[in-house]
Amino acid sequence: MSRGIGVTEGLRETVPEWALEGFVGLSLLGDLAFIVPVLGLLYLTDVGWTIARDTEEKPLCSNRTVSFIAAVFGGLALVVFLKGVFAFPRPPAELHVISPSEHGFPSGHAMSATIFWGGFALWSSVRTRPSRFALAGTVVMLVSLSRLVLGVHFLVDVVASVLFGVVYLLVIHRVARGRPTRAFAVAIAIATLAVLATEASSRAVVALTGSVVAAIGWYFVELPAVRRQLIEVARRAETK
C-alpha cells in the first residue's frame, strides 16, 4: 500500500483544474520564499519599535522574537536533515501539478508551516494564545491539503511532517527557555547534522550558513557599543 492510501490520487481526480492555482498560493504559506522574508521583517519591526521607545538598556530585538527566529532556522534545518535521512520518493510524476524537489518525505512545506506558524503561536504575544493556535492550525491544515491536491506528497508525508514539527517546537521551546543563544546553538547543531547526513547538499549548506550568519549578526548588533551607536544613528536620522 502506498503512503497516500489513495488520498492524493482521489484529490487529483476530484479538484477542478481552475482551483489548482489557489492551492499553489496556499502552499506558499509554508514556503521558504515566504517564511524567511517574514522573519526578517519581524526582526526589523522589533528593532524599530525598540529604537522608537528610546530603550538603550534593553536588547534591540527582544529575546522572544530572536528565540522564535532561531527556532525557525533550526526547524528548517531539521527538514533538510530528515529529507536526507529518509529520502523517500514522491508520488508518480503524472500526479504533479508543479515541479517539486527530489524527495517526498517529510513534506517540507507542511513541516515548515507547522514550525513557523506554530512557533508564532508559542512565542508571539499578539491577541490570545487560543486564537494564535487556531490560526496556526488552520494555516497548517491548508498548506498540508495543498501539497496533496498538487500531487507532490502522500497523506502519510504531511501527517508525519506536522507531527515532526509539533514535537520539534515542544522540545526547542523547552530547551531554549527564552534564551536566543540556546535556540541558535540547537539550530546550528541540527544544520551541521544535515550537512553530514546529506553529504553537504546545497540546501544543508545554506541552512548551516544561514543559522551561523543569523547568530553572529544578532550577537554583534546586540553588543552594547554597537547597539548604542545604531540607536544614535537612528535618532539623528529622525531629527533631519
What pTM did the predictor assign?
Answer: 0.91
Q: List CB contacts of 44: < 8 A, sequence separation 6 or more.
A: none
pLDDT for res 54: 62
Q: Which of 24, 3, 19 is nearest to 147 (CA)?
A: 24
Give dist(CA 50, CA 62) in Å, integer.
9
Determine phi and psi for 88, rounding to 5 degrees.
Answer: -75, 145
**What digits encode the pLDDT tens for the residues 139-198?**
999 999 999 999 899 999 999 999 999 999 999 999 988 899 999 999 999 999 999 999
Residue 108 CB-half CA count within 13 A: 23
Q: Where are the domains of the chain?
A: 21-50+63-239
Q: Is 157 in contact with 107 (CB distance < 8 Å)?
A: yes
Sequence length of the chain is 240
| pLDDT, mean over the chain | 89
